[in-house]
Amino acid sequence: LGRVVTCVAPVNIAVVKYWGKTNEDLIIPLNDSISLTLSTEHLRARTTIKTIPQSNDITFELNGVTEKLTKRLSRAIQLCREEAVRQNTATQEVVSAGLTIISDNNFPTAAGLASSAAGFACLVCALQHLYGIQGDVSAIVRQGSGSACRSVFGGFVRWAKGHREDGNDSIARQLFPASHWPELRVLIVVVSDHKKETSSTKGMQTTVETSDLLKFRTEVVVPKRCEDMERAIEKRDFPSFAELTMRDSNQFHATCLDTYPPIFYLNSTSQEILMLCHDYNQKKGAATVAYSFDAGANAFLFTLNKSVPEICGLLQARFGVTDFKGDPVSDFCLHEEH
Ligand code: DP6
């Protein structure tokens, strides 16, 4: 008989960013990264998987459109099947059955809003439940899309680059639950919902091949920054957290500019938002808001609960935006929906 599982997965936003791999196939990163997991109220991926016992076809539908099965998708399925057989949680008959995979995001796909992160985390979660796989699946999720492995956990998460050549110790772990810092808020300012021009995968590959700055970033800057970031979060020290977050976003975009030919993810609106944050912090005499940009023009703003109304007012006056999505960090992590 066919089985059906539905999972929901959150987006995560890196405050110390991942950019560059040592192994393209296994997706082993050049440096550790640290992220915050958001609630699934505004941004989430949802995946339903059905097994089709009489077939071995796999079909994949994303936001209502039938898509080709990518290499990474097939690989994630293959890894889950192997793990289920290894753990003896599913029979050969179950793991060789065909699959119908139906996914959707409640936000623009591939616009730099971490949709692939939520998407892969969600897919592996659904397969995990379908096949009864036990234990940490972040190493499997990582091989679908690197940043996705951080969406396996809620709260504040660190993904270690690890030391092993097979990547088995390149896994995510929770640093602190969301309840550690409940006043922290993330505002998502959607500047553009267009598909980004250079995918993260391709972009970071070119950066690794051509940027001199990346070596300095991954070897010298990031190891210390990860320790400083952990300490800032531990102490709930917002000014330090904010400065480290902004510096890391800026340096990531600087390595993009140092790529040859250069990659630009920020547009003039992103730059205006960035300067607005610096002006506001200067007026306040301390870092009160921080920005972070991924491989796209959209801004993620971090602030404490008490400053949200003022910052929203500022954005409204400047850009006329009225629709804000203000999320707390969330303990929600992958789960099965019933
Ligand atoms: C800028 O995880 O999308 O968002 O591993 O090739 O799938 P692949 O790349 P991806 O890269 C995300 C890059 C980033 C920074 C981050 O989330 O750490």
Q: Buried b / exposed e across 213-241, counting CB within 10 Å, b at 16+?
A: bbeebbeebbeebbebbbebbeeeebebb
For the cut 90, the answer to whether the pLDDT of residue 143 exceeds it is yes
CA of 200 to the centre of ligand 1 (A): 6
In testing the pocket of ligand 1, which one of 12, 18, 19, 253 has its CB within 8 Å of the most ligand atoms?
A: 18
CA of 90 to the centre of ligand 1 (A): 32
Sign (positive/negative) of CA torsion 318, 319, 325, 327? Answer: negative
Q: Average of pLDDT values for 209-224?
A: 98
pLDDT tens column, 245-272: 999 999 999 999 999 999 999 999 999 9
Cα–Cα distance for residue pair 111/240, rounded to 1 Å: 29
The size of the chain, in residues, is 338
Ligand 1 atom with the shortest distance to the CA of 114: 4
Regarding an ipTM greater than 0.90, the answer is yes
For the cut 50, the answer to whether the pLDDT of residue 181 exceeds it is yes
Residues with CB under 6 A from ligand 1: 14, 17-19, 27, 33, 116, 145-147, 200-201, 294-295
CA of 19 to the centre of ligand 1 (A): 6
Nearest protein Cα to ligand 1, atom 5: 146
pLDDT > 70: percent of the chain: 91
CA of 203 to the centre of ligand 1 (A): 10
pLDDT tens column, 222-242: 999 999 999 999 999 999 999
Cα–Cα distance for residue pair 260/250, rounded to 1 Å: 18
The band of 7, judged by pLDDT with boundaries at 50, 70 and 90, is very high
Q: What integer pLDDT is reported at residue 210 of this predicted model?
A: 98
CA of 112 to the centre of ligand 1 (A): 9
Q: What integer pLDDT is reported at residue 301 of this predicted model?
A: 94
In testing the pocket of ligand 1, which one of 38, 141, 147, 266 has its CB within 8 Å of the most ligand atoms?
A: 147
Q: What integer pLDDT is reported at residue 106 of this predicted model?
A: 82
Nearest protein Cα to ligand 1, atom 12: 147
DSSP state of 147: G
Q: What integer pLDDT is reported at residue 197 of this predicted model?
A: 76
Q: Average of pLDDT values for 173-184?
A: 95
pTM value is 0.93
